[in-house]
């Protein structure tokens, strides 16, 4: 990779989040660099979703310092929300609106001007070669297309960071790769990508990955380095090694 990642766009220091007696995030410390694809891995229930909610300004940490796009998650959640995009497997687009209506709606939420929306909408339809589908209801599209569109919508307002929560769950291998082509393109355009996945081959596509186990980050490095450290050939084995210890 030629690109250098210098500036930290997400800074997390000693982040703790507790629910009653249960510690979901146990002193997390990490940084995500501007323009990087950051893989945020962990078993179900390891605390990933909790951390993402905090980073998106939806939840307040119990303690610790968290800065996203230069804004503080305690006080400046509105600014944070304006500078990020979010997409998850569970919520993507409104099924009973058309492609065009969805894009207009979400772009409108972020306060984009009508002119900007029109120009970028045409760009997008052209790039995805779906000009003829723009008035189709989302419900009529295959899952793979929904996910690709949801991603396009999440970065439509050109956020600094986009959070992707299991974006490729249940998607076939070809569509998954097309999806990752889009992620690469976004990263190439300077958008920082923060992504969770259960597909370990996708972990290899990331610039750096962290692996969370029981609320703590057990490992954080480039995939090549992690494989070297744990003397294995694939991220799958790294993951199994780390997560298995606790089980």
Q: Which of 131, 170, 225, 228 binds other proteins (CB under 8 A)?
A: 170
The answer to the question of residue 44 lying near other proteins (CB under 8 A) is yes
Write out the two tokens for 90: 């569970």
The answer to the question of residue 18 lying near other proteins (CB under 8 A) is no
The answer to the question of residue 136 lying near other proteins (CB under 8 A) is no
* Minimum distance from residue 75 beta carbon to other proteins (Å): 32
The answer to the question of residue 234 lying near other proteins (CB under 8 A) is yes
- Measured in residues, the chain has a length of 247
The answer to the question of residue 223 lying near other proteins (CB under 8 A) is yes
> Which residue, 75 or 132, has its beta carbon nearer to other proteins?
132
Q: Which of 7, 29, 96, 188 binds other proteins (CB under 8 A)?
A: 188
Residues within window 60-89 making contact with other proteins, judged by CB under 8 A: 89
The answer to the question of residue 126 lying near other proteins (CB under 8 A) is no
The answer to the question of residue 23 lying near other proteins (CB under 8 A) is no
Q: Which of 159, 205, 209, 215 binds other proteins (CB under 8 A)?
A: 205
Which one of 26-34, 75-83, 115-123, 235-243 is the stretch in contact with other proteins (CB under 8 A)? 235-243
Residue 111 class from Cβ within 10 Å (0-12 exposed, 13-18 middle, 19+ buried)?
A: exposed
Number of shown-chain residues binding other proteins (CB under 8 A): 40
d(CA 36, CA 63): 26
Write out the two tokens for 228: 């070297």
């Amino acid at each position: 990779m030629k690109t250098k990642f210098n500036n930290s766009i997400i800074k997390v220091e000693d982040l703790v989040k507790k629910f009653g007696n249960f510690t979901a995030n146990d002193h997390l410390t990490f940084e995500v660099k501007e323009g990087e694809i950051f893989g945020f891995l962990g078993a179900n229930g390891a605390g990933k979703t909790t951390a993402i909610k905090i980073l998106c300004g939806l939840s307040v940490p119990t303690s610790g310092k968290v800065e996203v796009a230069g804004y503080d998650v305690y006080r400046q959640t509105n600014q944070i929300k304006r500078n990020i995009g979010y997409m998850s497997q569970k919520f993507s687009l409104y099924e009973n609106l058309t492609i065009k209506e969805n894009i207009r709606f979400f772009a409108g939420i972020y306060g984009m001007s009508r002119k900007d929306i029109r120009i970028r909408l045409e760009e997008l339809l052209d790039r995805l070669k779906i000009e003829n589908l723009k008035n189709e209801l989302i419900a009529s599209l295959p899952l793979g297309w929904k996910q690709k569109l949801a991603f396009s919508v999440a970065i439509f307002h050109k956020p600094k960071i986009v959070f992707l929560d299991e974006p490729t769950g249940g998607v076939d291998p070809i569509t998954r790769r097309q999806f990752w082509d889009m992620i690469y393109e976004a990263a190439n355009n300077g958008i920082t990508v923060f992504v969770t996945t259960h597909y370990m081959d996708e972990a290899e596509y990331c610039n750096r990955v962290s692996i969370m186990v029981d609320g703590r980050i057990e490992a954080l490095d480039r995939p090549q380095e992690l494989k070297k450290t744990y003397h294995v050939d694939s991220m799958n084995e790294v993951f199994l090694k780390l997560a298995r210890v606790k089980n």
